[in-house]
Structure 1
Amino acid sequence: MKISARNVLKGKVKQITPGAVNSEVVIELPGGTEVVSVITKSSVETLKLEVGKEVYAVIKASNVLVAIE
């Protein structure tokens, strides 16, 4: 796999919460940090995602927001 995104994190699917159109996918990274992605239900099926499957979280964002209390 070759892509232009610089932020590629390898992990395992921890949880999939299906919805009518989109599904929430929780990816657990080494060390226990979790990344959550909302993708189409169709993409979950096409990628054959299931709990325990090794996947990559590919993060391509033009903005990163910082907030304080």
Structure 2
Amino acid sequence: MKISARNILPGKVVSIVRGPVSTEVTLEIAPGVQITSTITSTSAQALGLKEGVQAYGLIKASSVMIGVDD
């Protein structure tokens, strides 16, 4: 697999919440560290996502915003 994203986070699928249009997928990328993504349900099915399966979180953003409390 070759992709242009610089941030590739390998992990294990720990939760899947399927909906008619979108599916929420949670990956555990380190002990106690999870990331969640919302993808189309069609994509989730095509990828064969199930709890316990190894997958990658790919993050590509043109900007990252930083904020602080007042």
With the length of structure 1 as denominator, give the TM-score of the two structures.
0.92
Q: Computing the radius of gyration over CA atoms, which structure comes out larger, 1 or 2?
A: 2
Which moved further from structure 2: 30-39 or 52-61?
Answer: 30-39
Query: Structure 2: any 5+ residue segments left out of the alignment?
Result: none
1:58 counterpart = 2:63:
no
- The CA distance in 2 between the partners of 1:46 and 1:32, in whole Å, is 28
Question: How many residues matched?
Answer: 69
**Cα RMSD (Å) of the superposition?**
0.9
Q: Which runs of 5+ in 1 are unaligned?
A: none
1:16 aligns with 2:29: no
Equivalent AA in structure 1 for residue 45 of structure 2: E
Sequence identity of aligned pairs in percent?
45
Structure-2 residue corresponding to 1:46: 46
SS in 2 for 1:61: coil
